[in-house]
Structures are given as C-alpha cells and as structure tokens.
Structure 1
Amino acid sequence: MATNQRVFSGFQVNRAVLTGGALLTAIGTVLSAAGATMVCVALVTAGRSWVRGLETQPTALAQRALREARVASTAGWEAWRAEHGSPN
C-alpha cells in the first residue's frame, strides 16, 4: 500500500444540498429559540399574576413557617433537656 494513496477517493459532497441543510438547521434553531422564549415569557407572566392574586404573600408564608420551625425546635430541645437532665 502506498503511503500517499487517498483513503476517501470518490467521496464528494453535494454542496447545494449541504448548504440547504445547514440553512434549514440554522432557521430551525432560531425558530426553536424564539418559541422557547415565548413559552418562558408566558409562564413567567402567569406565575407573577398568580402570586399577586394570593391572599398571603410567599414571603409571609415563609416567615411564618420559619417561626413555627424555631418554636418546634425550641420545644423539642426543652423536652430533651427535661428528660435527660442536661445542665445546658
């Protein structure tokens, strides 16, 4: 076998088809990105409207849950100390 022999002899690409395929792929990518953007905008808008319509805001719910967790933690700690007689 000669060292300068072409391995892919006869492999020829139809440039018109290749260019058309690349162009259609690019157009599809742009359309897909535009569609995904539109979906995200619609979901964000709907979510913001839903949050505005809530009777209690999410921050107030989170603060209340944190307060309740602290009270429960303190109660548990006090019960453990009472049971085990820890001086701490």
Structure 2
Amino acid sequence: MATNQRIFEGFQINRPLLTGGVVLTGIGSVLGAAGAAMVCAALLTAGRGWVRSLETPPSELAHRALSGAKAARSAGWEAWRAEYGSPN
C-alpha cells in the first residue's frame, strides 16, 4: 500500500502511473510547443519570400486602394451635394 493512497472509500490512486502520465504529458507539451514554433517559423519564412517575389509591394497596393477609396468618397460626397444642394 506504499504506492497506492486511499483518498475516498474504494478510490485508489496508483502514484507511479499518475507520475508517469504527468511526466509524459509535460514532455508531449514541450514537444508540441516546439513543433508549433517550427511550423510558425517555416510559414513566416515562406510568407516573407512570397512578399519579396511580388512585382508590386503590398504597401503600394494598399496605397492605391486607399487613394481609390478617397476618390470614391469625394465623388459620392459631390454627387450627394449636387442632388440635395447641401451648403457644406
């Protein structure tokens, strides 16, 4: 009864088995975290390479989209003012 401890009536915990499970779970968690870090590093590297291979950088595409949105906003505002005659 040295390795088993009674907590409740009829409920016994096998301490060596519990300890082994905790150790294996900890090792598995560390290995899983290391694997996730490796996957993230691989995806980051691939993403950087893909961005470098683009003809137009994403910042330029974003600038063009923002300029187009500003032009559409101004055109919409002017059309609304022409329709409703707002003094603003």
Question: Aligning the two structures, in what range does the TM-score lie when normalised by the shorter sequence?
Answer: 0.7 to 0.9
- CA deviations on 1:62-84 (whole Å, 9 max, x unpaired) are 11110110111101111111111
Provide the identity percentage. Answer: 68
2:76 match: 76
Shift of 1:10: 4.3
- Provide the C-alpha distance between the structure 2 equivalents of 1:11 and 1:87, rounded to a whole number of angstroms: 83
Q: Which has a greater percent of strand?
A: 2
Corresponding letter in the other structure for 1:28: G
Could you report, residue by residue, the CA deviation over 1:6-60 in whole angstroms, capped at 9, with x for unpaired residues? x813433211111111111011101100110111000000000000000010111
Aligned to 1:30: 30
Structure 1: 5+ residue stretches without partners = 1-6
How do 1:1-88 and structure 2 match up within 5 A? 8-88=8-88
Structure 2 unaligned segments of length 5 or more: list them.
1-6
Which structure ranks higher in relative contact order (CA pairs < 8 Å, sequence separation ≥ 6)? Answer: 2
TM-score (norm 2): 0.86
The structure 1 segments of at least 4 consecutive aligned residues displaced by more than 2 Å after TM superposition are: 9-12
Superposition RMSD in Å: 1.3
Distance, in Å, in 2 between the alignment partners of 1:9 and 1:86 is 84
- SS in structure 2 at match of 1:13: strand
Number of residue equivalences:
82
Q: Which residue of 1 aligns with 2:3?
A: none
